[in-house]
Amino acid sequence: MILMLAKGEFDRRVEDDGIEVWVSQQGPFGNVNTAFINRATNTVVIIDPYSAKKWLSALENEGLSPTHIIVTHTHRDHTSGVKNIMKSHPEIQLWGHVESNYPNLLGRVLFRHLDFTHTWNHPVHSGEQWTSGGITLEVTHTPGHAPGHLTFHGHGVFHAGDLLFTQRSGRVDLPGGDSESQWKSVTHAREILKGLPSDWRLIPGHNYEWIDGTERNWVSLSQALEHNLALNSPSLIQFEELDFLRFNDELAG
């Protein structure tokens, strides 16, 4: 069953390994955030926090505090809550790929420079296992939508950021975007998804329209593999013909 969330609401479930996974839709662009929580070690890892206020309030109500922020990429809508969470918890770790701080001056409106406390530096289309406080995630370097873009999977979810949405993929016409890199990242992700349990959830960076016209905060990996238009493009030529990759689709993230 697909559970829809009201604005600012949190879906909370405990995986078989005891790790809690929270998913929340936040902000006017339908950003979807994921957090992994291990209460036994008081470890809280948030991906791409949009609203510091909502995350801090929800965690405080549960007697929890954030310990790590990890980001898929540094576009402002995926990092808008980072500064205030770090201000509230100065000991927190902030992780991202070393290539994700985009140096081009033209990109400053779109990108937010982050002072990472820790960075990943693995090559394109390679993965690196990351573990902290009993939470283990596979971190994959998937540029194309943005430099240094990452996906994270573990504990029953594949958090795709703006590499993949439920039915499509992120646009490639923004500063630092590249269609061939995005195609190769999508192709690499497809092989990862095929190797994961089919009932795991694909958490997109935004809850854009699904095949039935609804806006969903996630779909199963099997649903994504069957219906996602980017995942099912058999060649770079056909991939580049998808209309949502560029500005002519106002919903392309």
CA proximity to 215, closest of 75, 49, 25, 23: 25
Q: What is the pLDDT along the chain (253 residues), one digit of tens a residue?
A: 445 676 669 999 999 999 999 999 999 999 999 999 999 999 999 999 999 999 999 999 999 999 999 999 999 999 999 999 999 999 999 999 999 998 776 677 899 999 999 999 999 999 999 999 999 999 999 999 999 999 999 999 999 999 999 999 999 999 999 999 999 999 999 999 999 999 999 999 999 999 999 989 999 999 999 999 999 999 999 999 999 999 754 444 5
Question: Strands 135-141 and 127-132: what pairing?
Answer: antiparallel
Q: What is the pLDDT of residue 247?
A: 72
CA proximity to 206, closest of 250, 165, 157: 165
Q: What is the pLDDT of residue 135?
A: 98
Length of the chain: 253
Neighbours of 195 (CB within 10 A): 8
Cα diameter, the chain: 51
Q: What is the pLDDT of residue 108?
A: 78
CATH of domain 10-245: 3.60.15.10
Contact 178, 146 (CB under 8 A): no
Q: What is the pLDDT of residue 250?
A: 47
Q: What is the pLDDT of residue 180?
A: 97
Q: What is the pLDDT of residue 105?
A: 66
Q: What is the pLDDT of residue 106?
A: 66
Q: What is the pLDDT of residue 109?
A: 86
Q: Indicate the domain borders of the chain.
A: 10-245
Contact 161, 151 (CB under 8 A): yes
